[in-house]
Structure 1
Amino acid sequence: MEVGKQTVLVTGASRGLGAAIATAFAKEGANVVVNYFKSKEKAEELVKALGDNAIAIQADVRDRDQVNEMAAKAKEHFNTPVTTVVNNALVDFQFNPVTQKNVFELDWGKFNTQFEGSIKGALNTVQACVADMKEQGFGRIINIGTNLVQNPVVAYHEYTTGKAALLGFTRNLAKELGQYGITVNMISGGLLKQTDASSVTSEEVFGIIESATPLQKVTSPEELADTALFFASPWSRAVTGQNLVVDGGLVMD
């Protein structure tokens, strides 16, 4: 299915990377669901900018009932079910090496927050949409990961472990859902310049990344969003269960 004919749910889409992904799909003519949790004003501003083929819907991805309701609202609004899910939502985390707890201070509750945001959130969106995908014989599930799994330059324990678990979930889903024409892939960016989560990152750190990266630049949210288009497009029809690192070559996996 061409990207312009798809109905795309992007979680955590009111700002940062999620907004860039929603914008990229809207530009291709797709129907776009801009999911948000708290940032109602930003989500509505984005939808206004994207036009008639976008709708903002509030839902906590950790709440199965709310996610089911969001999928139903999207289906009713666009008169077509969700074909494509981008699991992007990030729950209560910033990339701040100064405030990050070390292994001696870690609290299990912080791990649980990231597991619920990454795994439970993805499970809820998949379960809300997969029946319609199966019926159509087409679906695209795109999970957002991190290159910290391959190269933990800063020990963001709970965030990185949650994303590592999401990679395992990605590959298990790919194995199970492929028979129905549904592909499942992951995009693992590096530190992006700039999102709310990376707003506390110093220019010195960005400079270090630039100097160590073959392309000599920090990846932008818009550049990573282009990869989401690839995984949703017919060009990736034979690709599933993959983790594509999009960071300018900093990590070569």
Structure 2
Amino acid sequence: MTDTAPHEPSATNREPTAAPLADQVVVISGGGRGLGAAISRAFLDHGARVAIGYHCSREAAEVLAAEYPGRGLAVPLDVTAPDQIRLGVDAAAEHFGEPVTTVVNNALVNFTFDGEARPRVPELDPTLLASQLTGSVYGPLALVQATIPGMIGRGFGRIINIGSNLVQHPVVPYHDYTAAKAALLALTRTFAHDLGPHGITVNMVSAGLLRTTDASAATPETIFDAIAAGTPLGRVTSPAELADAVLFFASPWARAVTGQNLIVDGGLVKG
């Protein structure tokens, strides 16, 4: 029997790296209000350090950050401006003393959930598609690109994209919004394949209509009631409930989960 060093696992069979939520540095786009604020608060309540990205909601982001001294930081983060994205990521890393480990692509650009006011196919303007692609595809791409060097350096990263159950169940004519979220779902899966060898997971949490955010405030009460009646849980999902699923993908319990899309809508839409 020879005295040899123990066999080191190869890159292909090494267990994925995991970090407790309290050890993570998180950047959340659109993190100061609505769903983004619920996600920011969920991470902060579990001990994470969170850069609360904002574009038009500076005051709300700063108030939320002030509730968690030393762990909350409001940063300007316009997802249509790649240079500002890089500055926001750098500011978070400098403030918290280490690179960003976790990204939540949540920001929604210029959209209101009001089916009666949305254009049908004959009136659909390509500029509307371009606007949603900028916010839901190009913005997340820029935020991921700004953060992956630090993630690769640590051998750990979590990217969670916010999607929509309309991709699977397009019952409302939100053509521009739904097309952009479908593209983001495709990137979720291709990014997962590309970044997995570096210990970075990429997943999506897809919401139905949430009760209530700024974006869904224009939705008639009758629509909320109809959705609740058709949902196995008998109610409309809240932003806090969706935030729980985001935490799961960032947590050690999801260390072997990547490239997945979890629909969180009380069972309304299946898979």
Distance 1:152 1:165 in 2: 15
Q: Do residues 246 (structure 1) and 246 (structure 2) align? A: no
Q: What letter is aligned with 1:54?
A: G
Partner SS, residue 86 of structure 1: strand
Q: Do residues 222 (structure 1) and 246 (structure 2) align? A: no
Number of aligned positions between the proteins: 253
1:79 is aligned, of 82, 93, 97, to 97
Partner SS, residue 93 of structure 2: helix
1:192-211 correspondence to structure 2 within 5 Å:
192-211=210-229
Q: Is the 8 A contact 1:25 1:229 kept in 2?
A: yes
1:24-173 correspondence to structure 2 within 5 Å:
24-173=42-191
Offset, 1:62: 1.8
Distance 1:75 1:52 in 2: 13
Offset, 1:49: 2.2
Q: Do residues 237 (structure 1) and 255 (structure 2) align? A: yes
Distance 1:171 1:133 in 2: 18
Q: What letter is aligned with 1:214?
A: P
Bigger CA radius of gyration: 2
Partner SS, residue 55 of structure 1: strand
What stretches of structure 1 move > 4 A for 4+ residues in a row? none
Q: What letter is aligned with 2:133?
A: F
Partner SS, residue 240 of structure 2: helix
Offset, 1:105: 0.4
User: Percent identity of the aligned residues?
Assistant: 54
Offset, 1:39: 1.1
Distance 2:177 2:68 in 1: 31
Partner SS, residue 123 of structure 2: coil
Q: Is the 8 A contact 1:8 1:32 kept in 2?
A: yes
- Cα-Cα RMSD: 0.7
Q: Do residues 185 (structure 1) and 185 (structure 2) align? A: no
1:25-69 deviation digits (Å, cap 9, x = unpaired): 000000000000011111111112233200000121121111111
Distance 1:106 1:212 in 2: 29
Q: What letter is aligned with 1:136?
A: R
Partner SS, residue 70 of structure 2: coil
Q: Do residues 11 (structure 1) and 54 (structure 2) align? A: no
- When the two structures are superposed, what TM-score results if normalisation uses the length of structure 2? 0.92
* Structure 2, gaps ≥5 residues long: 1-18
Distance 1:48 1:234 in 2: 27
Distance 1:47 1:131 in 2: 26
Q: Is the 8 A contact 1:149 1:161 kept in 2?
A: yes
Q: What letter is aligned with 2:64?
A: L
Q: Is the 8 A contact 1:8 1:31 kept in 2?
A: yes
Distance 1:107 1:50 in 2: 43
